[in-house]
Structure 1
Amino acid sequence: MKVYQTNEIKNIALLGSKGSGKTTLAEAMLYECGVIKRRGTIEGKNTVSDSFPVEKEYGYSVFSTVFYAEFLGKKLNVIDCPGADDFVGNAITALNVTDTGVILINSQYGVEVGTQNIFRTTQSLKKPVIFALNQLDGDKADYENVMEQMREHFGNKIVAIQYPLQCGAGFNAMIDVLLMKKYSWGPDGGTPTIEEIPAEEMERAKELHQALVEAAAENDETLMEKFFDQGHLSEDEMREGIRKGLIDRSIYPVFCVSAAKDMGVRRMMEFLGNVVPFVEDMPAPETVEGLEVKPDSNGPLSLYFFKTTVEPHIGEVSYFKVMSGTLTPGVDLENITRGSRERIAQIYCVCGNIKTQVDKLCAGDIGATVKLKDVRTGNTLDGKDCEYSFDFIRFPEPKYRRAIRPVTESDSEKLMGILTRMHEEDPTWVIEQSKELKQIILSGQGEFHLRTLKWRVENNDKLPIIFDEPRIPYRETITKAARADYRHKKQSGGAGQFGEVHLIIEPYTEGMPAPDTYKFGNQEYKMSVRDTQELPLSWGGKLVVHNCIVGGAIDARFIPAIVKGLMDRMEQGPLTGSYARDVRVCIYDGKMHPVDSNEISFRLAGRNAFSEAFRNANPKVLEPVYDVEVMVPGDVMGDVMSDLQGRRAIIMGMSSDNGFEKISARVPLKEMSSYSTALSSITGGRSAFTMKFASYELVPADVQEKLLKEYAEKSQSED
């Protein structure tokens, strides 16, 4: 295989909603380039993409697929991404390591929520976008309607490169207004017949051509002057203008294809080869220190690893982008992220599960290697005298949680090993071994996302697992001051145990003044603070302890033991066993024994005094509340609102966003357990949502009463 230089490489992400036809388009692209001799089908389970068993089982893409095409003397590296929102992490990764996004739209359904979400990602990453209207041969295809939707959602930067002469079963021809030619195909697609534009279409073609020329000229002053002087541009000038417009996102070209019949695919590939930006045309990525790194083949060697898979008979396959320098086999590199050394023994260009060994990859190229010792997704490997470190991929917050456990408890360690490996393959699978909840919590982007993991664990790793409802990380706190004392006394022959602690607790807020005087009943308690400990809690909030003991009632050496006793109860609150937070404690009196007092005695005395005071301080249970944003079509907004309100949601606002309705709400985590599935059911899969932790809020009185009752019953059964 030829060694491609940086100025001959283009990196492209193939994007779109579920069912838009990306896998089928990838087959047609590979066929047109001669990489494969026969196009596979999803029904036949023989496509280059969707080659993993779980993808064949479910019939949809789970992983992104890397492939390359040698076309018009260029190398096109393409990453075919899953369309389902549950697997959005693959699309985000692909867009970060490629330079142009090709977004497919199913012409029968138009702009979907998934299309909008992907477009927003390209927006945030400032990536050029090309649209391809697919399935124009579908019964419900409507080119004009979809173009209108696209202008409504994406603005007047939408510019047609082609338009079909007919949609539906009769689709077999289109007018290309860039080349001003008519393309038509036989029933089996493939190589088109290229003719002059019929007279009856000439007026419309000229009008769209003029709009395209104006859009191209707008991006270059020289072209603009020539356009004003001559009224037209040459084909090469238009290409240059469109390329500049793509780079600064001032133009979104629209193509027409039928991927299943291989109509229009080769023409779109010609545009990708001739017009879209090269690697070196795009803004340089930055290291974590903010240093721009241009794709220079003569620069220091640096690789960024963006994807890991485990493949049968091969093992771990690691995919990388050459950020700088030129990579050859046998080179020793330093893993900047993990501080280890690696030797890259072999390098490959990849087409799905087909790997072609190569001798060299230049800056900007994408490749793979195998059997690395200590490389994870997101790591940077550098050559000698290079210290680049990249960390530019940001994944969305998880939206769906389940507790996961093996059927056989002894397999817990094995399960954690499998989950850790799978997180490397897809970082949007988030695993937490929760000490607080005493569960392994698996979080992801939706029910399908987690169901896919379950299928793989049970079928590939032969480990039966169970999903449970995750427990909720409640918090406990107090709402008023309370006083308590406790004497721990135990005599069992020889030295005994004795410790007595008197304390006052109250709610803690940041910046509150030092304690002075408390009054309970008719008695006042004056505080004289000798020492203060502020203990930030790993689960949020603080425990603040004031030593207010005077006269040596308790020796200073026992104060740490009392604080340990307080922390025991902060870690297991008296109400529900949840973590407690935001409490201030004043230890003001007590007693000790010259022989029987020891650390354990004061630890137990402190713990029990704190428990009694906590219960008398009008304690409350707090629950985690999340900020939720839901994007829905207007016709189902009422149903979605009703469902949210049934989940104790507080609606914070509503707005329209490019044809969709956006609902902002604050919803308790407890009520979000099945929301992903419910929303999909209500809207027919035409919606999407995001959720992010907001704060802890008091639970309603009826919910607190239920929680306390459940905890009491559980404690009684355990006793």
Structure 2
Amino acid sequence: MFIYKTALEQHLGDVTYFKVMSGKISEGQDVINMANSSKERITALYAVAGKKKEKVTELTAGDMGCTVKLKSVKNNHTLNAPGNETIVPPIEFPQSKYRCAIKSLDEKDDEKLGEALNRASAEDPTMRVEYSKELRQIILNGMGEQHINILKWHINNDYKIEVELFAPRIPYRETITKVATAQYRHRKQSGGAGQFGEVHLLVEPIIEGVEAAGKFKIDGKDTQLTIKGKEEFLLDWGGKFEFFNCIVGGAIDAGFMPAIKKGLMQKMEEGPLTGSYARDIRVYVYDGKMHPVDSKEIAFIIAARNAFKEAFKIAGPKIMEPIYLLEVMVPGDCMGDVMSDIQNRRGIIEGMGSEKGFQILKARVPLAELYKYSTTLSSITSGRATFTMNFQDYQQVPMDVQEKLLKAYEEEDKDE
């Protein structure tokens, strides 16, 4: 039997809908879930015709029915009699067309909202819920604006939760374009043991194919740094981070290097410009100071974070935005309007073709410009066009866009 739908129904509880693919299934029969090897018992069987359910004792190949109280069954699972290893190919659901963020108007409802969204996602596989740690938002992915609005209605009326839908944040990245140096001294004295740590560092961009040279102009003098240790990290959010220990003469004890690296990674996770992830940066720690009594790990974490922040801001910082490849299938008479709309969204047309009487348009468009695109496209073409969008890469944003983002981040920072 193949599971194609699950639902929560008022008088029955958790209901699982299935199709019998071969043989027969009987009330009270034990079956094996091929997805997780769990054992399930069919306690009741119902033949289904629309909303009508008729209790039966068995169903045979080709019948569609439902059962209740299965423990660990989801859409696309196959349940078999013991000894049968057949797995039915899963249904391939279409790619989401509409993306938005959601939050409850009352923080007390956050837990209830999470339960409602998880239930909605389980019942409707085309409704995908994403809890984004990076964006600190709950993201809904659905088939269109109306699809999301129907979910909102159910949350408002069935779960009695007031929610707000709005444009999601964009997962920007931050990087630098030139070499810069900075130093920072952290000193704190509060009666007892104090805190002291001073870090001097240099940052430079990682450019593909260009190796670290170690020779720079520092304080107006050509300086060859002595590289005593190097660590390279492939970042979870894309790009690289390289850390060079260039301390000589014991200016900073080697035992404090992990704390300095920790402070740098904290700022890589929360970039100095907009709080987005930073990437593709080399950091050379070449000097500093410590105190025999007051130097502690926390002091060097704070010193490293602040030195990195200061160096970053004078190293030609740039914000990078995600670029998506948009492929639109559109009727020929709407081609001009669709192209104009894409160009207004800072899109770059990459190619055109034709297929099955439709025109195919390919373009690279920033994700920031694609909010509610499905609604706009439907309006332009009277619902006769469709599209797909897939992540391509990150590109630097134009300067006017960067200035707007920086101002918006500053305002948001003040509000918090």
TM-score range, shorter chain: over 0.9
Which residue among 89, 92, 96 is the counterpart of 1:398?
A: 96
SS of aligned partner of 1:575: coil
* Whole-Å separation in 2 of the counterparts to 1:363 and 1:524: 81
1:681 aligns with 2:350: no
- For residues 128 and 342 of structure 2, the distance between their equivalents in structure 1, rounded to whole angstroms, comes to 25
3-state DSSP class of the match of 1:502?
strand
Q: CA RMSD in A?
A: 2.2
Match status 1:375 vs 2:73:
yes
Q: CA deviation at 1:447?
A: 0.7
Aligned pair count reads 416
Per-residue CA distance 1:231-255 (angstroms, 9 max, x = gap): xxxxxxxxxxxxxxxxxxxxxxxxx
| 1:306-344 Cα deviation digits (max 9, x unpaired) | 211223322222123445664322233343434543222
> Which of 270, 280, 287 is 1:572 aligned to?
270
- Counterparts of 2:289 and 2:407, CA distance in 1: 36
1:188-224 per-residue CA deviation (whole Å, 9 max, x = no partner) reads xxxxxxxxxxxxxxxxxxxxxxxxxxxxxxxxxxxxx
Letter in 1 for 2:238: G
Query: Which residue of structure 2 aligns with residue 706 of structure 1?
Result: 404
Asked whether 1:619 is paired with 2:294, we answer: no
Structure with the larger strand share: 2
Q: Residues 305 and 478 from structure 1, CA distance in 2 versus in 1: closer, same or farther, beyond 3 angstroms?
A: same
Q: Distance in 2 between the 1:499 and 1:383 partners? A: 67
Residue type of the alignment partner of 2:276 = S
| Residue in structure 2 matching 1:536, options 210, 234, 244 | 234
Within 2, Cα distance between the matches of 1:384 and 1:512? 60
Q: Following TM superposition, by how much is the alpha carbon of 1:677 offset from its aligned partner in structure 2, in angstroms? A: 1.3
Aligned-pair CA distance for 1:541: 2.1
Inter-CA distance 423–312: structure 2 relative to 1 (3 Å threshold)? same
Distance 1:615 1:344, change over 3 A: same
* AA matched with 1:581: R
The 5 A counterparts of 1:220-259 are none
User: Does the CA contact (< 8 Å) of 1:651 and 1:665 recur in 2?
Assistant: yes
- Once residues 180 and 29 of structure 2 are traced to their aligned partners in structure 1, the CA distance between those partners, rounded to angstroms, is 68
Match for residue 235 of structure 1? none
Q: Which residue in 2 is equivalent to 1:523?
A: 221
Map of 1:481 onto structure 2: 179
1:450 and 2:144 equivalent? Answer: no
Instruction: Report the residue type matching 1:625 in the other structure.
Output: I
Q: Does residue 411 of the first structure (1) align with residue 112 of the second (2)? A: no
* Percentage identity across paired residues of the two chains: 56
Task: Give the AA of the match of 1:708.
Answer: L
Q: Taking structure 1 as reference, are residues 514 and 383 closer, same or farther at Cα in structure 2, changes over 3 Å only? A: farther
Q: What pairs up with 1:157-176 in 2 under 5 angstroms? A: none
The residue identity in structure 1 corresponding to 2:9 is E
Corresponding residue for residue 635 of structure 1:
333
Comparing 522-531 and 472-481, the one that deviates more: 522-531
State the Cα distance separating 1:520 from its structure 2 match: 4.0
Which structure shows the bigger proportion of residues in helix conformation? Answer: 1
Distance 2:254 2:32 in 1: 52
- Please say if 1:433 is aligned against 2:131: yes
Q: Secondary structure at the match of 2:389?
A: strand
Letter in 1 for 2:115: G
Contact 1:496 1:596 in 2 (8 A): yes
Residue 714 of structure 1 and its aligned partner are, at CA, apart by 2.5
Rate the CA distance shift 1:501–1:650 in 2: closer, same or farther, 3 A: same
Residue pair 1:338, 1:379 contacting (<8 A) in 2 also: no
**Per-residue CA shift, 1:594-653, capped at 9, x if unaligned?**
111111001001100110111111010111111111111111111111111111110111
Q: Which secondary structure does the structure 1 equivalent of 2:307 belong to?
A: helix
Q: Does 1:560 align with 2:258?
A: yes
The CA distance in 1 between the partners of 2:30 and 2:177, in whole Å, is 61
Does 2:279 correspond to 1:581?
Answer: yes
- Tell me the alpha carbon deviations over residues 405-437 of structure 1, each in whole angstroms, 9 at most, x when there is no partner: 122221011001010011011122121222222
Amino acid at match of 1:673: Y
SS in 2 for 1:689: strand
In 1, distance between residues paired with 2:325 and 2:218? 40
Post-superposition CA distance 1:26-54 (Å, at most 9, x none): xxxxxxxxxxxxxxxxxxxxxxxxxxxxx
> Helix, strand or coil: the match of 1:529?
coil
The code of the aligned residue for 1:424 comes to A
| TM-score normalised by length of structure 1 | 0.55
Structure-1 separation of matches of 2:100 and 2:162: 15
Q: What is the one-letter code of the residue matched to 1:422?
A: A
1:247 is matched with: none
Evaluate the alpha carbon distance shift between residue 700 and residue 363 of structure 1 in structure 2; reply closer, same or farther with a 3 A threshold.
Answer: same
Q: Deviations over 1:495-554 (max 9, x none)?
A: 111111122212224564244322246323323333333333332222222223233322
Matched residue, 2:195: 497
Does the aligned pair in 2 maintain the 1:397–1:692 contact within 8 Å?
no
Letter in 2 for 1:650: I
- Structure 1 runs not aligned, ≥5 long: 1-302
Give the greater-gyration-radius structure (CA).
1
Q: What SS class does the counterpart of residue 419 from structure 1 fall into?
A: helix
Q: Secondary structure at the match of 1:498?
A: strand
Report the CA distance shift for 1:527/1:347 in structure 2 as closer, same or farther (over 3 A): farther
The 1-side partners of 2:64 and 2:206 are apart by 54
TM norm structure 2? 0.93
Contact kept? 1:398, 1:691, Cα under 8 Å: no
Q: Distance in 1 between matches of 2:367 and 2:396?
A: 13
Cα shift at 1:489? 1.2
Give 3-state SS (helix, strand or coil) of 2:227's partner.
coil
For 2:219 and 2:227, how far apart are their aligned partners in 1? 23
CA distance in 1, matches of 2:229, 2:20: 57
Q: Distance in 2 between matches of 1:321 and 1:550?
A: 72
Partner of 1:319: 17
Correspondences of 1:56-455 after superposition (within 5 Å)? 303-322=1-20, 326-338=24-36, 340-362=38-60, 366-385=64-83, 392-455=90-153
Assess, with a 3 A threshold, how the Cα gap between structure 1 residues 323 and 512 changes in structure 2: closer, same or farther: farther
**Whole-angstrom distance in 2 between the partners of 1:595 and 1:386:** 71
| Greater RCO, 1 or 2 (C-alpha within 8 Å, sep 6+) | 2
Q: Are the structure 2 counterparts of residues 524 and 640 from structure 1 closer, same or farther at C-alpha, using a change threshold of 3 Å?
A: same
Separation in 2, partners of 1:714, 1:421 = 33
Q: Which amino acid aligns with 2:293?
A: V
Moved more, 605-614 or 453-462: 453-462
Tell me which of 244, 248, 253 is aligned to 1:550: 248
